[in-house]
A and B are shown apart, each in its own frame.
Chain A
């Protein structure tokens, strides 16, 4: 495999989030962490790496994410590209996938793109499919246990009531479940090599997009209202096992 691309999103680390007047995340005010499912994508990419494989991490977000992304070099990632531009901000999943696809096209030939199956903040899980459609290649979502196979990759897909073993042709997109891989720790050699490497930052213009295609402008969904009150609060009545029995029997 020549190049494996892992898509990584930086998400707010705090459980509480701040919104601006447009109901957008105030990304400047919160500290960031790597999205959990994306850790699986990075580890899976490093695991598939052969002598002549380049592992590239592609991310989109504010420039302040650079420091966190820089740490990935020490794990053995060869190249990190961050799409960062005011024009890209506020994108819904459609505009995000469009930007990522444009970014991918700037990275050269690739064998597969690995993603986390969903992000902890927006939780849409739509990017892997939309990215695959933008590039007109197949995708497998909810994946685990990615391995090389004769004509491509094999992996498991977690469905509602079954686990499938699939083979998928290259090039393709595979999205991976949280915790399906444990991200390795940096080695001393890795840390040393990382010193010479730098995150490349690309703007919308660099990847050939105009303002109308990106960010809020390029989005087809619009948040019109946000309720911050946590839903799901209930009024608890305390009871004894006999009463619980009745409730269980009522549902059976």
Chain B
């Protein structure tokens, strides 16, 4: 029987696991889950991992992986070696009964949604992490730990955990500030609020350009793509380049003093007003 091979890395996506199980059933494929977490820990060389994985794909009809930074390097390498079509960062997947995969992904800063079919025998896609909801009661085949491979063509000599903040791509709640915050001090205040509610701090590009926040906090087409359960946009106008990075959020709250700011059209809840006054009120209430 042909396989649907799900490759999980250091940060497995349980929602994708659930989706993969559904796709395997509809497409009459055998689900196989392979974890490369050990290999990722053993070597920084993604090309060595991709090379090694080729041998695991003999029965694969579909190969999926969450679009983490490392798997977004490993999957293209594997796809090239298999001469297989690969669709990046999908936000929707469907399959026919004959195992033809239909992949949906946004392009052009979200102004387009494209549906893509793969013509090669092996169909590959990476999926934006957090796109599909997980099912804690789901039953899945046991995850196989893929034998760690070794290479020192790329070596990690230091790893700096981002302290204090959890990375924004993993956060359940993100409080994101824009140019409207007005100062570095204002951003510190926003950060304190974020930490108080257990959120990570994000930022628009203008806020990063103004030096309020580090680039690693930038959300958008030239920053991180995030899909938290709750995204709170504070003093952010809602440019398409910013929306591209956060439209996958489950719930969006916008705080902006301009009632005509586009961000309100992309928010589930909004408050019009000065951000500092509103954050002060929230801090008192929480």
Q: Interface majority SS on B: helix, strand, loop or mixed?
A: mixed
Q: How far is the CB of A159 from chain B (nearest CB, A)?
A: 5
User: How many inter-chain residue pairs (CB < 8 Å) link A and B?
Assistant: 264
Q: Does B109 contact A (CB under 8 A)?
A: yes
Establish whether residues A126 and B86, one from each chain, have CB atoms under 8 Å apart when the complex forms.
yes
Establish whether residues A124 and B88, one from each chain, have CB atoms under 8 Å apart when the complex forms.
yes
The stretch of B28-36, B139-147, B179-187, B263-271 in contact with A is B263-271
Q: Does A37 contact B (CB under 8 A)?
A: yes
Per the CB 8 Å criterion, the residue count for chain B at the interface is: 91
In the complex, chain B residues 230-286 whose Cβ is within 8 Å of any chain A Cβ:
230, 232, 240, 243, 247, 251-254, 264-272, 278, 281-282, 285-286
Contacting residues, chain A, for B69 (C-beta < 8 A): 141-142, 157-160
Q: Does B170 contact A (CB under 8 A)?
A: yes
The stretch of A46-54, A78-86, A230-238 in contact with B is A230-238
The stretch of A1-9, A115-123, A202-210 in contact with B is A115-123
Q: A164-B159, A168-B154 are in contact. Are A239 and B269 (CB under 8 A)?
A: yes
Q: Which among B81, B86, B151, B272 has the greatest number of chain A C-beta atoms within 10 A?
A: B86
Contacting residues, chain B, for A140 (C-beta < 8 A): 44, 46, 73, 154
Question: For this complex, into which size category does the number of interface residues on chain A fall?
Answer: 35 or more
Contacting residues, chain B, for A139 (C-beta < 8 A): 46-47, 73, 77
Establish whether residues B167 and A160, one from each chain, have CB atoms under 8 Å apart when the complex forms.
yes
Contacting residues, chain A, for B84 (C-beta < 8 A): 94, 220
Contacting residues, chain A, for B58 (C-beta < 8 A): none
Q: A94-B83, A129-B77 are in contact. Are A226 and B112 (CB under 8 A)?
A: yes
A selection of 22 A-B contacts at a CB cut-off of 8 Å is A15-B111, A93-B86, A97-B76, A123-B89, A128-B73, A130-B76, A157-B69, A165-B157, A220-B120, A224-B102, A224-B116, A226-B113, A227-B113, A231-B113, A234-B265, A234-B267, A236-B265, A236-B267, A241-B278, A248-B282, A248-B286, A251-B173
